[in-house]
Copies of this chain bind each other. A is one copy, B any other.
Amino acid sequence: MAISAIKPDATDFLIASKQCEIQDLTSFLKLGQLVVAISNLIHALQRERGASNLFLGSGGQRFSDELEGISQASDDQLNGFYAALAQAREALGSDHGSSRLLSRIASALHGLSGIETLRAQVLRQEISADAATRIYIELIRVLLSVVFEAADTAADPGIAKVLVAMFNLMHGKELAGQERAAGSVGFAGRQFARALQERMTHLLEAQERCFELFCEFADEQSLALYQRCLEKPYQEPIRYLRGVARSNSNQALIRDEHTCQWFELMSSRIDDLKVVEEALEAHLHHLCAIKFAEARQALSQHEVLIRDLQKHEPHDAFVVMLSKDELAGEYEIASLANEGLSPRLGRSVLELVQNQSARLQQMNDELAEARQALEERKLLGRAKALLMKQKQMSEDEAHRLLTRIAMNEGKRLGEVAKAVISMAEMWQ
């Protein structure tokens, strides 16, 4: 027999497969902390955006004293983000397929590197309230895209699900922030023009889709917290004020006190969403720690078992085993034993290998489910971009067109988006 000395061993690869899982989980312990830091940073930037907006809108009268403290709070969170990034950096560098995530981080860092310039412009009132707001929106969007990619990178279905829930909650909360801003403009100006009404509608619908997905993937505790938000006393007046904004006779319905009311009600709502976000973060951290401990334990059990097996029986007693699940059950392991083999050791290693394969397959199936939610969002984004480019639509218009088609045809938004994309490809 001419098998040379380099012959590798099945059990080595079995252990390597386990170690690879552990390495993935280690990365996610760190990525989890990065997501927490991003969540805090976004919350701070949302406040800074609001304050800058009011400062610029009031011609420098309001919030001039608070602005410095608010920026300082953002900087604290920025430091937290940088620290988490330094921690995650190493874990990310060697990971297969994390180039997209790294590239998103580069975008975020590039955006954040201009924040001092932006603040100086705001203080000197050299930028319009509108332009400043849009830059903050863009900064937050880029930060959210880092969370999106992190969710897309997760190899463990449990962690992927929490990250999908997290991304959607964060995104929903950001849309709520934008709704607060849009409503403030309308109530303060005592009218909602058609375009502003459409924007409000779009922001509300997009929020609802985010929170639906959050509910689909969140853990029980975060879900319970979120449901408690839905019963809070601010929900009813918010609904009323949205109705005012939507109404054709909104100019007649708007009262002086609405501006302040709207801002405060929506702020309470957003703060509550932040609390849900924190619960979800705690859950993510807990989950990563548990999975990590489990994987570690499974690995050491495997190692012990394999050492044991290797001690008791020489190598050439291994037998070829069929994996029952893939054949029609007509050829069982027993039949090999009947043919005079002693498959004890072979069976033990086989069982380990098969268990690992089956577990990974199961994980892959569950993962596919969580990823579908991300996939739909990607499709939606591409379909909107195509409509915006080819039909000169605004994002709101594109979104409304897609949801209208979906409603009329009783299809999922993702399906409609897919159809639009394939049509657009044909036009080109």
Contacts and interface: CB of A to CB of B under 8 A. Distances in A.
A107 B394 contact: no
A426 interface: no
B105 A24 contact: no
A107 to B, nearest CB: 5
Interface string A382-406: 1001001000011100000000000
Given A14-B103, A107-B357, A155 B318 contact: no
Q: Which of A102, A134, A138 has the most CB of B within 10 A?
A: A102
- The complex is assembled from copies of this chain, and their number is 2
A100 B339 contact: no
Interface residues of A, number: 109
Contacts of A126: 339-340
A155 to B, nearest CB: 5
A213 to B, nearest CB: 20
Contacts of A423: none
28 contacts: A2-B76, A6-B83, A8-B85, A8-B89, A10-B108, A12-B106, A13-B109, A16-B89, A94-B94, A96-B153, A100-B360, A100-B361, A103-B353, A103-B357, A107-B323, A110-B349, A111-B321, A114-B319, A116-B316, A126-B339, A126-B340, A131-B331, A131-B335, A134-B331, A135-B320, A139-B320, A328-B394, A329-B388
Contact of A4 (B82, B114, B118, B388): B82
A92 to B, nearest CB: 7
A228 interface: no
A368 to B, nearest CB: 8
Nearest to A388: B328
